[in-house]
Amino acid sequence: MSVEVGKKNIRLAQKLLLVAVAMFGFGYALVPLYDVLCEWKWIERDRPDAIKKVPEVAYKVDMKREVNVEFMTILNESTPMIFRAEKKQLKVHPGEYHTVNFYAENKTDKVMVARAIPSFSPAVTSSYFEKIECFCFSEQTFKPKEAKTMPMRFVINPDLPEQYKTITLSYTFFDNTEKSVK
């Protein structure tokens, strides 16, 4: 019986070793797999280093289409601010320019440096949402208790596929004071 138990233990050890090798191989393959997936449009995201100001271009306004743009504001849990969009949503025609103001206030008695990071839903719409002016292009410095109205000027490129009727633009404000001081 002990010989039979010994053989079962060897087979179990072999199977466990095979699982460990497969897990290591999968983990090793994740980096190139992630790089490939991130090159696809549907996984594209705006990153601070990729946010670029675009020039104002005269598009032909598509009056037959209307896109609902929703604005969401989020504060990182450690960011002592008030942050909101002055409008929660806006109906726009692709090709026409709009300005939406965002309000932010430093609730502390100290100078604070903050950064707004945008994200879009559906993600593919970020390629068609063109910002001409935005507070997200750079860090914002707030004096103690200072409040700011920050404009964001944009246009929806008329090349936006017709299947997209709603775009949600979400900004998350992060406190970068410690990172900026160093």
For the chain, percent of residues with pLDDT exceeding 90: 49
pLDDT(78) > 60: yes
The number of beta carbons lying within 10 Å of the beta carbon of residue 50 is: 9
Contacts by 40-48, CB closer than 8 A, 24 or more apart? 41/124, 41/127, 42/123, 42/124, 43/123, 44/123, 44/124, 44/126, 44/127, 45/119, 45/120, 45/123, 45/126, 46/117, 46/118, 46/119, 46/120, 46/126, 47/117, 48/115, 48/117, 48/136
Residues 93 and 67 in one domain: yes
Residues 35 and 71 in one domain: no
5 alpha-carbon distance from chain centroid: 55
Residues 51 and 85 in one domain: yes
The number of beta carbons lying within 10 Å of the beta carbon of residue 85 is: 19
Confidence of residue 50 (pLDDT cuts 50, 70, 90): very low
What is the pLDDT, as a whole number, of residue 85?
95
CA dihedral 61, 126, 136, 107 (to 10 degrees): 110
Residues 129 and 68 in one domain: yes
Residues 83 and 107 in one domain: yes
pLDDT(123) > 60: yes
User: In whole numbers, what is the pLDDT of the chain averaged over residues?
Assistant: 84
Strand, helix or coil for residue 45: coil
- Residue 23's domain comprises 2-39
The Cα–Cα gap between 171 and 76 comes to: 10
Residues 32 and 52 in one domain: no
